Amino acid sequence: MPRTGRLTTATALLAAISALATACTGQGADTASDDPKADVTLTFWHGWSAPSEARAIEENIARFEKAHPNIKVKVTGNMTDDKINQALRAGGDKAPDVVSSFTTDSVGKFCNSRAFADLNPFLEKSGVDKAKVFPRTLLEYTEFNGNQCTLPLLNDAYGLVYNKTAFDAAGITEPPRTWSRFVEVAQKLTTPDASGDSYERVGLMPTFHGYETTPMRLAAQWSPTYFAADGSSNLARDPAFAKMLTAQKDLVAALGGYEKLERFRNTFGDEWSAEHPFHTGKVAMQIDGEWRAPMAKEAGVGFEIATAPLPVPDDQAGDYGKGYLSGTVMGIASGSRKQNAAWELVKYMTTDTDAVVAFANAIHNVPSTLAALESPALRVTPEFKTFLDIARHPKSSTTPARADGGTYQLTLTDFAYAVEKGDVADIPAGLARTDRQIDTDIAKAK
């Protein structure tokens, strides 16, 4: 399952993490005093809730305990970030030692507030060269200002999942590689209903409320730079953002306009059910992650499914294959008095190739280490291979960590909502205002 709802969760989470700043000072490998070879029980909290996911965690923990017979792990699943942060603020024996979070966007807050311990000393003491273990982009979203307070635990890549049967019927022989071709294909696959006021099918739901279609995932295809060298917001100065917003707004217009599309979107089923609009044939192309194709197959769709990278701007055709990356993170609570033992668990789950591959195979996510990406034990379907290739692409990117966590992304998203609705007459000027708001929010967070 994907790491869905990060931005929504981050809104409520940021204030909670801020409260930790004065309470958490953190430890390092040189100051943690516990003996990792002593008999100990760790508490590990994670957010997975589906039976198959919980089972995959338990299987990984069982393998860890077999390799570390002195360490027992008490696992609690389906833990929200709010619950985690409440426990971290309270401290004591009821707080977790190890945490896995879906809220990648808040890593900057985790690090800045010292809610999680800096793992750099642990990595160094263990002889783990993180640059040789993890893809560069994943390291970007798991550290902040040199503080590696989390490590990647599996990875999400975003691309295009499409109805190949519909493509074939329309005479479309390959997925679109450039944005201009993407618009053409989306229009060709769009079928109005009998009234002409709605649709039988849209080639793509392009609005930013359309599940996984976010400004950040589209912007990745333009290879943007979110922040300048001095740390200030760079949205207005980098033409990538204005180009992306203009292209998306034009696509919305080409497919019938914002209001018409939003009325149709309101007929969609739940994103995580068999009634997802891609499953039911209401949408021919879906911007989504590696989980969508297997979910569609489990839903019993009556058409052939294929996957591809998202298209790139026409002037960046040579970069086709790149995409947006994010994922789950894992860290050690700063208040834990069992940090050396906790590090053994974190090290195993995030760096052990067999453990990473087994977990990726079990829950259909992209592996988060370079070795696991190339492992012959990794189960690879044609649909899944697309996302592995996106994860490996040298120009795939993510959203950088900042002291205010994901607030800057929320600010950009709010502006993008206004653009697609037609409420913004001057996109560059609006981006400049957005920059000022982002800079103000980050200054307050610091």
Residue ranges covered by each domain of the chain: 6-156+325-392, 157-319
Q: What is the dihedral of CA 180, 382, 393, 359, to 10 degrees?
A: 130
Question: What pLDDT, in 10s, does the model give residues 147-191?
Answer: 999 999 999 999 999 999 999 999 999 999 999 999 999 999 999
Question: Residues with Cβ < 8 Å from 149, sequence gap 6 or more?
Answer: 107, 110, 111, 114, 115, 116, 117, 118, 119, 142, 143, 331
The helix or strand, by DSSP H or E, that contains position 342, with its residue range, turns out to be helix 339-351
Domain 157-319: CATH architecture, name and number where available = 3-Layer(aba) Sandwich (3.40)
Mean pLDDT for the stretch of residues 134-146: 93
Q: Is 445 helix (H, G, I), strand (E, B) or coil?
A: helix
Residue 8, pLDDT score: 42
CATH number of this structure's domain 6-156+325-392: 3.40.190.10
| Residue 196 one-letter amino acid | G
Please give the mean pLDDT across all residues of the chain: 91
Instruction: Please state, in angstroms and rounded to a whole number, the distance separating the CA atoms of residues 329 and 323.
Output: 19
**Per mean pLDDT, which range of 22-26, 46-50, 182-186, 207-211 is the poorest?**
22-26
Instruction: Please state, in angstroms and rounded to a whole number, the distance separating the CA atoms of residues 6 and 324.
Output: 14
- Cβ-contact 73, 346 below 8 angstroms: no
Instruction: Please state, in angstroms and rounded to a whole number, the distance separating the CA atoms of residues 439 and 446.
Output: 11
Instruction: Please state, in angstroms and rounded to a whole number, the distance separating the CA atoms of residues 424 and 372.
Output: 45
Instruction: Please determine whether the domains at 6-156+325-392 and 157-319 fall in the same fold group of CATH.
Output: yes
Instruction: Please state, in angstroms and rounded to a whole number, the distance separating the CA atoms of residues 282 and 308.
Output: 19
Burial class (CB in 10 A: 0-12, 13-18, 19+), 93: exposed
pLDDT at 106 over 80: no
pLDDT at 343 over 80: yes
The pTM of this model reads 0.89
Question: What pLDDT, in 10s, does the model give residues 71-82?
Answer: 999 999 988 777
Partners of 289 in the β-ladder: 158
Residue 5: band (very low, low, confident or very high) from pLDDT cuts 50, 70, 90: very low
- Cβ-contact 203, 187 below 8 angstroms: yes
Q: Is 32 helix (H, G, I), strand (E, B) or coil?
A: coil
The DSSP code for 100 is: E
Two structure tokens written together for 290: 């590696």
Count how many Cα atoms sit within 13 Å of the Cα of residue 425 in the half-sphere of its side chain: 0
Higher-pLDDT residue of 16, 340: 340
pLDDT at 49 over 90: no
Instruction: Please state, in angstroms and rounded to a whole number, the distance separating the CA atoms of residues 228 and 119.
Output: 27
Question: What pLDDT, in 10s, does the model give residues 256-315?
Answer: 999 999 999 999 999 999 999 999 999 999 999 999 999 999 999 999 999 999 999 999
